[in-house]
Structure 1
Amino acid sequence: MAVKKTELYSSLWSSCDELRGGMDASQYKDYVLTLLFMKYVSDKYASDPDGTIIVPSGGSFKDMVALKGDKEIGDKINKIIGVLAEENDLKGVINVADFNDEDRLGKGREMVDRLSNLVAIFDGIDLSANRVEGDDLLGDAYEYLMRHFATESGKSKGQFYTPAEVSRILAKIIGITAQTRQDQTVYDPTCGSGSLLLKVADEAPRGLTIYGQEMDNSTWALARMNMFMHSYPSHEIWRDNTLSAPYWKNPDGSLKTFDFAVANPPFSYKSWSNGVNLTDDEFGRFEYGTPPDKNGDYAFLLHILKSLKSTGKAAVILPHGVLFRGNAEARIRQNLVRQGYISGIIGLPANLFYGTGIPACIIVIDKESDRNSQDLFMVDASKGFIKDGNKNRLRSQDIHKIVDAFTKKLELPRYSRMVSLEEIAKNDYNLNIPRYIDSSKPEDLHDLDAHLNGGIPDADINALQTYWAVFPNLRKTLFTSSKRSGYSNSLVEASQVKATILSHPEFTTFADRSLAIYTDWRKQHNDLLKGIAISDKPKELIKTLSEDLLARFAGADLLSRYEIYQLLMDYWAETMQDDVYVLVQDGWAAGKRLRQLIVKKGDKRPETPDLMIDKHKYKSDLIAPKLIIDRYFAPQQQQIDQLQADVEAKSQELETLIEEHIGEEGLLSDAQTDTGKVTKASITARLKEVKGDKEEQGVLKQCLKLFDGETEAKKVLRDKQTALDAAVFAQYPKLTEDEIKTLVVDDKWQGTLKNAIASEIERVTQQLANRVKTLEERYAEPLPQLVQEVEVLSSKVEEHLKRMGLEWN
């Protein structure tokens, strides 16, 4: 059965729950990732004698499964991992975590239970069913875990991971294309867990030769495992300090040079100079200046510059301070700019990285650039992000916009521009981005004359020209010229502005025209979506779909093509991606299938069932019951909806009657239970007791009748719902392949996307409505009118006080 990405992620994160408490995330990541690696290589290579990794007898995940409940499970797991490590030269890589550590895993039965549960979780993930070769299901799962480990590890321990979104930007801006050769090289001198290197390699369809160096032992081990998990077994990653002991060198002792380089060095590393000869560096890295011995930002940048070929390109993440700090760093910065090595700077939002909350930037180096053209392209992307827990995160649209602007040199207002060397020189080579790009929103200034004399300033109305260009007659519907030059009057009350816009013919035309773009896109890709076949590549599919959608909406009125693109990418991440992974592994027949859910004892994340049949719970991986109902059983559902409304009405009638007659003097007060409730049983008991009080008897009988009516209505509803569930359950195996494609592609995917785009169209017009409403309310009552109203109200107060014999001085 297919492995859904989100279900895989959930299972992996459940494994972390078993380890929390005894250690923090920076420690338990080694255990979880080691088990993931063991499970992966066992499923992938155990029956493949020619595989990249040899799984020897006594060194597989199955050997671990056999240990569940064993009182020596910790020591024996260590030995199993050791067997695999010895066979594949992975000692010091996969055997970093000690599974027999009582301080972290507990003693005796606690350790046995914890490790048994941990192994059981991984045993429940069938990775052998994954047939999406080259689509990196496991690599993405590894990336998912790394991101969560970094989030939980805290400020001081999350630096081993560069957010995938930032990695994608670096990968796309350094010039790697479909023509990049496999023998070309990419280098990361501070590679951490290797995620940044892998994102770069993903951009080269033919592959790239990977080189890296990492100082921390456990992080280096993570990088090695990461490479195997992403199917890059031929990587070259060394463990040592890059600045004091660079490993990658030529035979003559000089630094080896590479075609591409990327890096996310530790920010402002204070002890970078330990072991480095600052006065006579043997590698000649400091020819443009020696960095301060307590701040290593430029030390890493200069090392990378020296490690590039004459045509090399690099992108380096550094704190914003490198753009404007003075003294030694200012001299280095000036030299690099005048040499023409820095081709661009991209300012990123604050709080993106796990090791720090400060904003960072990307310095782009291009040794191949024309030395006579020393202009520098700047992007201020600091405003484009979404909150994600306690961190900020770049969205798909933010990434695409940055890459588009930088690679195409698009000059966008308040976002990006080409800056000349002359302008930089005038600023003393200070590269602080706000000096060159003002990304702040313009102030919403009030017009004092309008506050005093009334009317809405034409300047504010004219500022909405992008809307009036699309709705030329709507302006005349909303505003009319006043007697005062430069001011207009509103024609529509503020509360009616939105309704007026939505009902205007020009809006209807605009909405239809915008949806037509989506409809054309949908028709273009209908055959592609309905033709999804086993072993297709989901990532290639979403790239084709999203890039075409982005291109089609490039010329759309008012709508942001990046916002539309984001709608698709969000839906892909939430739902569509899982569906496609099911289809490319199991085919369209998966739409017929319902899984019976069996909740295991201790399961902390049980799945929510889609159907309950004869007390058995069932789940569909592809087609929710609602889709079946909407297409095949709509009349039955309408009947159930009406019955549900009837039940709610009867319940409300009963509740109202009870509320009217409870309390100390209420006719139902003696029918209340000890807890203060009125039940059918308590009403029945009170009816047997009450004698002679016809009024109380009448209310009790009316209440009992309503209870019976409610019970009967609920029974009818329940029976009808049970019958519908049974009909839906029976419909699944009857579905033909064409019907499944219609349900999934037309009803589920396209229906959801169409609704999302229609909402975006309305949201854009809502912005106009809000602004018009704000202007109307702001200038609705000029100052003289307010003064007059105050005087009238004051005189009324004085009159009331006089009548009361009081005087207000």
Structure 2
Amino acid sequence: MAIKKSELYSSLWSSCDELRGGMDASQYKDYVLTLLFMKYVSDKYAGKPDAIIEVPEGGSFADMVRLKGDKEIGDKINKIIGNLAKANGLEGVIDQADFNDEDKLGRGKEMQDRLSKLVAIFDGLDLRANRAEGDDLLGDAYEYLMRHFATESGKSKGQFYTPAEVSRVIARVVGIGPGTRQDQTIYDPTSGSGSLLLKASDEAPRGITIYGQEMDNATWALSRMNMILHGHPGAEIWRGNTLADPYFKNPDGSLKKFDFAVANPPFSSKAWTNGLSPENDEFKRFEYGIPPAKNGDYAFLLHLITSLKSTGKGAIILPHGVLFRGNKEADIRRNLMKHGLIKGIIGLPPNLFYGTGIPACIIVVDKEHAHARTGIFMIDASKGFEKDGNKNRLRSQDIRKIVDVFNNQVEVPRYSRMVPVAEIASPANDYNLNIPRYIDSSEPEDIHDLDAHLNGGIPVRDADALEPYWAVFPTLRGALFRSNGRAGYLEPEVAPGEVKATILAHPEFSAYSGRVATVFDGWRAAHEPRLLGLGAGDSPRAVIHALSEDLLVRFAGVPLLERYDVYQCLMDYWAGTMQDDVDLIAAEGWVEGAKPRGIVEDKEKKIKETPDLVIGRRKYKMDLVPPDLIVNRYFAAEQAAVEELAALQESAARDLEEFVEEHTGEEGLLEDATNDNGKVTRASVKERVKAIGRDPEFAGEREALTRVTALIEAEARAAKAVKEARAALDERVLARYSSLAEDEIKSLVVEDKWFASIQAAVEAEVERLTQRLAGRVKELDERYARPLPELEREVEAFGTKVEEHLRRMGVEWG
């Protein structure tokens, strides 16, 4: 059965548990990623003639599996990896990690057990069941691991990975797309693990030729493996210091030129001149100026610019300081702008990158249209992100908004603007590119009205500020506000607690909700046939592309509802559930994918799956069709009966709890009927009944004990009835899976699961905009509900009461 993305991630991350302790994340990543590579190429290419990777005898993952428990497992794993490396010219690439290193993996039995468990984890992953073409499962898993390794590696060792979200932004703003030809080239002078190059290449469905250079040997090895895992074995990634010794050169010794270039160089490198004399640079990279000796940010930018063809386009991630620092950097900045090389600047949120928490920006370079450039397009995207542990991350909607706004050069208030070069070059700005100079992204100040605080009333200007709502609900304003008799002021028409209900009940809001539903239904109708027709060979990437693109288009015309929020609803559901489902359908088909699978407890893997159904000691997981869908469609009456029994149980439990609470405590009739934990139980009651016997002195207590016994038994009978009814329903549900026809499965998944879940998320967005309006109206009402004179009178009245109390107490108040 195809392995789910979430399961693969859990397995891989649990494998790291076997290595933690002996080394830090920057070291054990090499072991885990090497084993992932060995497992992947063995599953995909072993025994296949003319495969791009030859898996020789004695060089496969299967050979490693046979070593479990072997006293020389570390040395023999090294030899197996060496055999694969030698057969494919991958020496120095996949053999970086030493599996016989006693300092890192332990000595003797410790190493033997650790490596045996590690190999067993990977052995349990069947990667052959996943589609080979168009399936990024392994590539995504590789990226998942590198992101976690970067998080754990700390500031000094987490720079080998560019967050995938930022990579996607860069890939899309440089102009790579469906029209890009396979013979066009893309280059990254500081390629790291290759993530930025790969995300850029993903935007070219017909392919693109990849070049890169990386200075760190271990990171270079990661990038070579990464390229193979992503289906780019021919990518040219070379080792070496790009600034001091660039590898890619023309026959005449000049730098090779590329169609596209992307980079995420080390920020503010203080050693960028090592091995280099900028004043005598043979590649003429510093004609626009020589960067400061202790800060190499502009050195990488100038190298990237020089590496582009005359029609080339590029993007580079740099700290914000490059936009406004003075002296030599100011001179370079001025020269670049005078030559029209900078197309745009995108300011990113802080704490996105591994190795630094400072905010960074993307500088977009375009040589092709430099001569005609009269402005620089700027975006302040610093506020669009989500928290993810101790880092921030761009959401899908943040990425899409940045890309749409930049590529279409759309000016959005407090977000984006085309800034004329004349304005940047003015004496007031002097070529300073600091984004806040040109875009004020701060929210408008919520100004209080002193007259309203003094005399009451809600300022008309505050109601006018809600005009986007009134444009959609023209008569709703009159249902919420009325004149209070003073010019420029209003008073609420309904109490604060009734505002939301008034909005929801208003016919204009009902019409608006219907409009949203109509747009959603149109989108659903357009894509339902394709989803029902999914099968082997379908590309999950193509599916979500079609769904998301059309959703954005359809919701663009819906007022109030931000289309990127709706887009996020879809992308969240895709990432959390739907992508796994589509992967499973593409690999297994609808019928096989819907079959329940028994969960086997695997202590060695340390994976704990939450079962969807438990019958006796048998645990089941339903990956494609959760039991709730079966229950809702086929067993609604039975579920209602279970719920009715559960309500009776809850009532019986409540009666028992109230009776016990009433009669426990000091001098309570059940005070002596509790156990050591202070609980009234069947056993503790029985023991107390036996203790008091038939003594008339305890008649009242005996009656209470009889009553509580009856309540305990009633609650137990009710609980038993619920348990039995649920068990019977679970048995029927499990049996129903075996008789599901393919059309039924499709209907359950597409209609009851996918579309129903996405629709619920969209409706929640409508609910949120309603809440925002109701919250603001209520806030205004409460802010000015009690004018200052009224508050002063109340204070005076309270003061008088206090003085009176003090006099009664004999205290003189002077």
Which range, TM-score by smaller chain? Answer: over 0.9
Counterpart among 512, 515, 518 of residue 516 in structure 1: 518
Q: 1:409-462, CA deviations, whole angstroms, 9 ceiling, x for partnerless residues?
A: 001101111111110001100000000000111111111111112111111111
Q: Tell me how far apart the structure 2 counterparts of residues 345 and 672 of structure 1 sit (CA, whole Å).
A: 71
Q: Tell me how far apart the structure 1 counterparts of residues 795 and 702 of structure 2 sit (CA, whole Å).
A: 59
Distance 1:54 1:582, change over 3 A: same
Per-residue deviation, 1:72: 1.2
Aligned amino acid, residue 797 of structure 1: V
Matches within 5 A, 1:369-768: 369-426=369-426, 427-690=429-692, 691-692=695-696, 693-768=698-773
Q: Tell me how far apart the structure 2 counterparts of residues 670 and 123 of structure 1 sit (CA, whole Å).
A: 60
Matches within 5 A, 1:27-66: 27-66=27-66
Asked if structure 2 preserves the Cα contact closer than 8 Å seen for 1:288 and 1:335, the reply is yes
Asked if structure 2 preserves the Cα contact closer than 8 Å seen for 1:191 and 1:213, the reply is yes
Q: Tell me how far apart the structure 2 counterparts of residues 688 and 765 of structure 1 sit (CA, whole Å).
A: 62
Q: Tell me how far apart the structure 2 counterparts of residues 481 and 148 of structure 1 sit (CA, whole Å).
A: 59
Q: Tell me how far apart the structure 2 counterparts of residues 592 and 664 of structure 1 sit (CA, whole Å).
A: 58
Asked if structure 2 preserves the Cα contact closer than 8 Å seen for 1:132 and 1:535, the reply is no
Other-structure match for 1:151: 151
Q: Tell me how far apart the structure 1 counterparts of residues 620 and 200 of structure 2 sit (CA, whole Å).
A: 42
Asked if structure 2 preserves the Cα contact closer than 8 Å seen for 1:515 and 1:757, the reply is no
Q: Tell me how far apart the structure 1 counterparts of residues 215 and 808 of structure 2 sit (CA, whole Å).
A: 88
Q: Tell me how far apart the structure 2 counterparts of residues 286 and 150 of structure 1 sit (CA, whole Å).
A: 33
Give secondary structure in 2 for the equivalent of 1:6: helix
Q: More displaced, 739-748 or 488-497?
A: 488-497
Other-structure match for 1:11: 11
Per-residue deviation, 1:614: 3.6
Per-residue deviation, 1:491: 1.4
Q: More displaced, 333-342 or 783-792?
A: 783-792
Q: More displaced, 348-357 or 691-700?
A: 691-700
Asked if structure 2 preserves the Cα contact closer than 8 Å seen for 1:68 and 1:119, the reply is yes
Per-residue deviation, 1:686: 2.2
Q: Tell me how far apart the structure 2 counterparts of residues 518 and 541 of structure 1 sit (CA, whole Å).
A: 17
Q: Tell me how far apart the structure 1 counterparts of residues 713 and 461 of structure 2 sit (CA, whole Å).
A: 67
Asked if structure 2 preserves the Cα contact closer than 8 Å seen for 1:324 and 1:330, the reply is yes
Aligned amino acid, residue 721 of structure 1: R
Aligned amino acid, residue 231 of structure 1: G
Distance 1:80 1:178, change over 3 A: same
Gaps of 5+ in 1: none
Matches within 5 A, 1:206-217: 206-217=206-217
Matches within 5 A, 1:102-121: 102-121=102-121
Q: Tell me how far apart the structure 2 counterparts of residues 399 and 209 of structure 1 sit (CA, whole Å).
A: 25
Per-residue deviation, 1:47: 1.6
Q: 1:173-211, CA deviations, whole angstroms, 9 ceiling, x for partnerless residues?
A: 111122211111100000000010011111111111111
Q: Tell me how far apart the structure 1 counterparts of residues 668 and 459 of structure 2 sit (CA, whole Å).
A: 62
Per-residue deviation, 1:495: 1.8
Distance 1:35 1:624, change over 3 A: same
- Pair 1:789 & 2:794 matched: yes
- Pair 1:359 & 2:359 matched: yes
Give secondary structure in 1 for the equivalent of 2:472: coil
Q: Tell me how far apart the structure 2 counterparts of residues 210 and 183 of structure 1 sit (CA, whole Å).
A: 10
Aligned amino acid, residue 783 of structure 2: R
Aligned amino acid, residue 526 of structure 1: E
Q: Tell me how far apart the structure 1 counterparts of residues 423 and 188 of structure 2 sit (CA, whole Å).
A: 32
Give secondary structure in 1 for the equivalent of 2:665: coil
Q: 1:341-365, CA deviations, whole angstroms, 9 ceiling, x for partnerless residues?
A: 0011111011000011000000111
Asked if structure 2 preserves the Cα contact closer than 8 Å seen for 1:798 and 1:808, the reply is yes
Q: Tell me how far apart the structure 2 counterparts of residues 755 and 779 of structure 1 sit (CA, whole Å).
A: 36
Asked if structure 2 preserves the Cα contact closer than 8 Å seen for 1:592 and 1:733, the reply is no
Q: Tell me how far apart the structure 1 counterparts of residues 208 and 710 of structure 2 sit (CA, whole Å).
A: 78
Asked if structure 2 preserves the Cα contact closer than 8 Å seen for 1:132 and 1:584, the reply is no
Give secondary structure in 2 for the equivalent of 1:77: helix
Asked if structure 2 preserves the Cα contact closer than 8 Å seen for 1:592 and 1:734, the reply is no
Asked if structure 1 preserves the Cα contact closer than 8 Å seen for 2:181 and 2:208, the reply is yes
Q: Tell me how far apart the structure 2 counterparts of residues 575 and 454 of structure 1 sit (CA, whole Å).
A: 52
Other-structure match for 2:243: 243
Query: Percent sequence identity over matched residues?
Result: 66
Per-residue deviation, 1:805: 4.1
Q: Tell me how far apart the structure 1 counterparts of residues 132 and 766 of structure 2 sit (CA, whole Å).
A: 36
Give secondary structure in 2 for the equivalent of 1:371: helix
Per-residue deviation, 1:9: 1.1
Q: 1:39-91, CA deviations, whole angstroms, 9 ceiling, x for partnerless residues?
A: 00000000212100100000000000111111111111111101111111111
Q: Tell me how far apart the structure 2 counterparts of residues 354 and 674 of structure 1 sit (CA, whole Å).
A: 54
Q: Tell me how far apart the structure 1 counterparts of residues 441 and 683 of structure 2 sit (CA, whole Å).
A: 69
Per-residue deviation, 1:662: 2.8
Q: More displaced, 640-649 or 656-665?
A: 656-665
Q: Tell me how far apart the structure 2 counterparts of residues 241 and 689 of structure 1 sit (CA, whole Å).
A: 88
Asked if structure 2 preserves the Cα contact closer than 8 Å seen for 1:591 and 1:732, the reply is no
- Pair 1:345 & 2:350 matched: no
Per-residue deviation, 1:482: 2.9
Give secondary structure in 1 for the equivalent of 2:313: strand
Aligned amino acid, residue 642 of structure 1: E
Asked if structure 2 preserves the Cα contact closer than 8 Å seen for 1:346 and 1:380, the reply is yes
Q: More displaced, 641-650 or 601-610?
A: 601-610
Q: Tell me how far apart the structure 2 counterparts of residues 597 and 348 of structure 1 sit (CA, whole Å).
A: 44
Per-residue deviation, 1:619: 1.0
Give secondary structure in 1 for the equivalent of 2:280: coil
Asked if structure 2 preserves the Cα contact closer than 8 Å seen for 1:455 and 1:482, the reply is yes
Across the two proteins, how many residue pairs are aligned to each other?
809
Aligned amino acid, residue 335 of structure 1: N
Give secondary structure in 2 for the equivalent of 1:262: strand
Per-residue deviation, 1:215: 0.2
Q: Tell me how far apart the structure 2 counterparts of residues 682 and 480 of structure 1 sit (CA, whole Å).
A: 65
Q: 1:650-687, CA deviations, whole angstroms, 9 ceiling, x for partnerless residues?
A: 22222222233333533223332333332212222222
Gaps of 5+ in 2: none
Aligned amino acid, residue 626 of structure 1: D
Aligned amino acid, residue 763 of structure 1: R
Per-residue deviation, 1:132: 5.1
Other-structure match for 2:313: 313
Per-residue deviation, 1:516: 1.2
Aligned amino acid, residue 250 of structure 1: N
Q: Tell me how far apart the structure 1 counterparts of residues 13 and 331 of structure 2 sit (CA, whole Å).
A: 48
Asked if structure 1 preserves the Cα contact closer than 8 Å seen for 2:41 and 2:53, the reply is yes
Give secondary structure in 1 for the equivalent of 2:556: helix
Q: Tell me how far apart the structure 2 counterparts of residues 117 and 468 of structure 1 sit (CA, whole Å).
A: 64
Give secondary structure in 1 for the equivalent of 2:150: helix
Q: Tell me how far apart the structure 2 counterparts of residues 592 and 360 of structure 1 sit (CA, whole Å).
A: 46
Other-structure match for 2:281: 281
Q: Tell me how far apart the structure 2 counterparts of residues 153 and 695 of structure 1 sit (CA, whole Å).
A: 69
Q: Tell me how far apart the structure 2 counterparts of residues 688 and 481 of structure 1 sit (CA, whole Å).
A: 75
Q: Tell me how far apart the structure 1 counterparts of residues 4 and 777 of structure 2 sit (CA, whole Å).
A: 47
- Pair 1:769 & 2:769 matched: no
Other-structure match for 1:322: 322
Q: More displaced, 397-406 or 598-607?
A: 598-607
Give secondary structure in 2 for the equivalent of 1:469: helix
Q: 1:736-772, CA deviations, whole angstroms, 9 ceiling, x for partnerless residues?
A: 1111011101111111111111111010011111111
TM-score (norm 1): 0.99
